[in-house]
Each structure stands twice: as C-alpha cells, then as structure tokens.
Amino acid sequence: MTTHFKMIFTTCKDEAEARTLARALVEKKLAACVNILPNMGSIYMWEGEVAEATEAKLLIKTKSDKMNDVFLTIKELHSYEVPEIQVLEVSTGNLAYFNWMDEVLN
C-alpha cells in the first residue's frame, strides 16, 4: 500500500517552542498530530565547533500536499538560524489512522 502521508522531523530549543510550533501546525490543519519528545540530548557541529544542547524533537504527521506549508511555518516560527527539516515517506500503516488523518486535514 502506498500512501500520500509524510513524517517530518524538526528539533526546537526547548519544549515551550516545540509546543508553540506543534499547536500552530495543528491549528492551521497542516498536521493531524505532532508528537513532542522533550529533553533530547543533541551533539552537533555548529560554526566549526562541537556543540551540545538539550532540545525537543517534533514528529509531525501530515499529507504530501501540505508539506511546503509545514516547511514555511517551521521557518517562520523557529528560533534556529538553520532549523532541521527532514521528511520520511510513510509507505504503510494503519488504514483507520490514515482515514482519520485525511478527515482531520481536509
């Protein structure tokens, strides 16, 4: 079964920013659901140095045709100069859940 759904990942500086972004995406009907994983440790390169931070990860569940608006909303509301935006194709899953997503996102 092929689907028209995407899972988009981003990180935020803290849980408060993550909640603001998640709520905006759901209220605008750009995401059916956003999971927030708070207090995630991250180690990364930034401006030539190894940096370490505690962040919140967002798992954004959306449809393919809403993806660009999700990107724009993340960039608009995000505090990072270069926010993470990564997309995974959703190839299969619970048909009842996908029907719910279709209903919510229309």
What are the tens digits of pLDDT across the range 21-55?
999 999 999 999 999 999 999 999 999 999 999 99
Tens-place pLDDT, residues 49-93: 999 999 999 999 999 999 999 999 999 999 999 999 999 999 999
CB 39 within 8 A of CB 18: no
Kindly list the structural domains of the chain, giving each domain's residue range(s) and its CATH number in brackets, ordered by start. Answer: 5-94 (3.30.70.120)
CB 10 within 8 A of CB 53: no
**pTM over the 0.75 mark:** yes
